[in-house]
Amino acid sequence: MKRTKVKYVVRRTYESTVAIVEADVTVEVALTLFGFKTVLTTALTNWFHTSDGGRAAFQEASYDFNIGDLATIDLHRTPELQDELRQFGIENLLVKVIVPKDADNPDDWTFDEILEDQELVQVLKEQKDGRAT
Protein backbone atom coordinates (compact mmCIF):
# COMPACT_ATOMS: atom_id res chain seq x y z
CA MET A 1 0.00 0.00 0.00
CA LYS A 2 1.22 3.49 -0.70
CA ARG A 3 1.64 6.01 2.09
CA THR A 4 -1.63 7.73 3.02
CA LYS A 5 -2.10 10.70 5.35
CA VAL A 6 -4.68 10.20 8.12
CA LYS A 7 -6.00 12.60 10.72
CA TYR A 8 -8.13 11.74 13.73
CA VAL A 9 -9.64 13.78 16.54
CA VAL A 10 -9.53 12.19 19.99
CA ARG A 11 -11.96 13.77 22.44
CA ARG A 12 -11.65 13.78 26.19
CA THR A 13 -15.00 12.60 27.51
CA TYR A 14 -15.47 14.99 30.42
CA GLU A 15 -14.14 18.27 29.01
CA SER A 16 -13.53 19.99 25.70
CA THR A 17 -9.85 19.02 25.40
CA VAL A 18 -9.05 17.23 22.15
CA ALA A 19 -6.00 15.72 20.54
CA ILE A 20 -5.38 15.93 16.82
CA VAL A 21 -3.51 12.83 15.66
CA GLU A 22 -1.90 12.87 12.23
CA ALA A 23 0.27 10.28 10.57
CA ASP A 24 1.24 8.67 7.32
CA VAL A 25 0.12 5.06 7.25
CA THR A 26 1.38 2.27 5.04
CA VAL A 27 -1.01 -0.51 6.08
CA GLU A 28 -4.63 -0.56 5.00
CA VAL A 29 -5.97 -1.50 8.42
CA ALA A 30 -4.77 1.87 9.79
CA LEU A 31 -7.05 3.81 7.44
CA THR A 32 -9.96 3.55 9.87
CA LEU A 33 -10.04 5.04 13.34
CA PHE A 34 -10.43 1.64 14.97
CA GLY A 35 -7.65 0.13 12.86
CA PHE A 36 -5.31 3.04 13.49
CA LYS A 37 -5.91 2.90 17.24
CA THR A 38 -5.32 -0.85 17.19
CA VAL A 39 -1.98 -0.70 15.38
CA LEU A 40 -0.88 2.32 17.42
CA THR A 41 -1.72 0.51 20.66
CA THR A 42 0.11 -2.61 19.50
CA ALA A 43 3.22 -0.63 18.56
CA LEU A 44 3.19 1.26 21.87
CA THR A 45 2.66 -1.92 23.88
CA ASN A 46 5.67 -3.50 22.18
CA TRP A 47 7.71 -0.36 22.88
CA PHE A 48 6.68 -0.34 26.57
CA HIS A 49 7.78 -3.93 27.05
CA THR A 50 10.85 -4.19 24.81
CA SER A 51 12.84 -0.99 25.34
CA ASP A 52 14.21 0.96 28.26
CA GLY A 53 12.74 4.19 26.88
CA GLY A 54 9.31 2.60 26.51
CA ARG A 55 9.39 1.14 30.01
CA ALA A 56 10.42 4.53 31.41
CA ALA A 57 7.63 6.37 29.54
CA PHE A 58 5.05 3.82 30.68
CA GLN A 59 6.23 4.06 34.28
CA GLU A 60 6.34 7.88 34.14
CA ALA A 61 2.70 7.81 33.03
CA SER A 62 1.90 5.71 36.13
CA TYR A 63 1.17 2.75 33.83
CA ASP A 64 -1.78 4.71 32.42
CA PHE A 65 -0.27 5.91 29.14
CA ASN A 66 -2.80 7.79 27.01
CA ILE A 67 -2.87 10.17 24.06
CA GLY A 68 -1.82 13.10 26.28
CA ASP A 69 1.29 11.18 27.32
CA LEU A 70 2.03 10.30 23.71
CA ALA A 71 1.82 13.99 22.81
CA THR A 72 4.75 14.70 25.17
CA ILE A 73 7.09 12.21 23.49
CA ASP A 74 9.65 13.77 21.15
CA LEU A 75 9.72 11.19 18.38
CA HIS A 76 12.88 12.69 16.88
CA ARG A 77 14.68 11.74 20.10
CA THR A 78 13.00 8.35 20.38
CA PRO A 79 14.23 6.30 17.42
CA GLU A 80 13.21 2.98 19.00
CA LEU A 81 9.58 4.19 19.11
CA GLN A 82 9.81 5.45 15.54
CA ASP A 83 11.07 2.02 14.47
CA GLU A 84 8.26 0.27 16.34
CA LEU A 85 5.63 2.53 14.78
CA ARG A 86 7.13 2.02 11.32
CA GLN A 87 6.95 -1.77 11.76
CA PHE A 88 3.21 -1.38 12.25
CA GLY A 89 2.73 0.99 9.33
CA ILE A 90 2.74 4.36 11.11
CA GLU A 91 5.17 7.08 10.07
CA ASN A 92 5.47 10.80 10.77
CA LEU A 93 3.20 10.61 13.80
CA LEU A 94 2.18 13.98 15.19
CA VAL A 95 -0.07 14.41 18.24
CA LYS A 96 -1.21 17.88 19.20
CA VAL A 97 -3.33 18.42 22.31
CA ILE A 98 -5.68 21.39 22.24
CA VAL A 99 -6.99 22.69 25.53
CA PRO A 100 -9.48 25.47 24.81
CA LYS A 101 -9.22 28.59 26.93
CA ASP A 102 -12.70 27.91 28.26
CA ALA A 103 -12.18 24.17 28.82
CA ASP A 104 -14.01 24.46 32.15
CA ASN A 105 -17.15 25.66 30.39
CA PRO A 106 -17.52 23.68 27.14
CA ASP A 107 -21.16 24.64 26.62
CA ASP A 108 -20.40 28.32 25.99
CA TRP A 109 -20.04 27.58 22.28
CA THR A 110 -21.28 24.48 20.57
CA PHE A 111 -20.52 23.22 17.10
CA ASP A 112 -24.03 23.77 15.72
CA GLU A 113 -24.55 27.19 17.25
CA ILE A 114 -25.79 29.66 14.65
CA LEU A 115 -23.35 32.52 14.13
CA GLU A 116 -25.91 35.21 13.48
CA ASP A 117 -26.85 37.88 16.03
CA GLN A 118 -30.63 38.23 15.84
CA GLU A 119 -30.60 41.55 17.72
CA LEU A 120 -28.17 42.98 15.17
CA VAL A 121 -30.31 41.61 12.35
CA GLN A 122 -33.27 43.55 13.76
CA VAL A 123 -31.20 46.77 14.01
CA LEU A 124 -29.98 46.32 10.44
CA LYS A 125 -33.53 45.80 9.21
CA GLU A 126 -34.69 48.94 11.02
CA GLN A 127 -31.79 50.93 9.55
CA LYS A 128 -32.63 49.68 6.07
CA ASP A 129 -36.28 50.66 6.56
CA GLY A 130 -35.26 54.10 7.87
CA ARG A 131 -36.46 53.44 11.40
CA ALA A 132 -33.09 53.48 13.11
CA THR A 133 -33.23 54.22 16.81
Query: Taking the domains of the chain in order of start, what are their residue ranges?
Result: 4-105
pLDDT above 60: residue 106: no
Average pLDDT over residues 101-121: 71
Gap between the Cα atoms of 89 and 29, Å rounded: 9
Backbone phi, then psi, for 78, in 5-degree steps?
A: -130, 65
**pLDDT band (50, 70, 90) for residue 100:** confident
Confidence (pLDDT) at 83: 96
**pLDDT band (50, 70, 90) for residue 107:** low
Gap between the Cα atoms of 47 and 84, Å rounded: 7
DSSP state of 15: S
pLDDT 10s digits, 36-94: 999 999 999 999 999 999 999 999 999 999 999 999 999 999 999 999 999 999 999 99
pLDDT above 70: residue 108: no
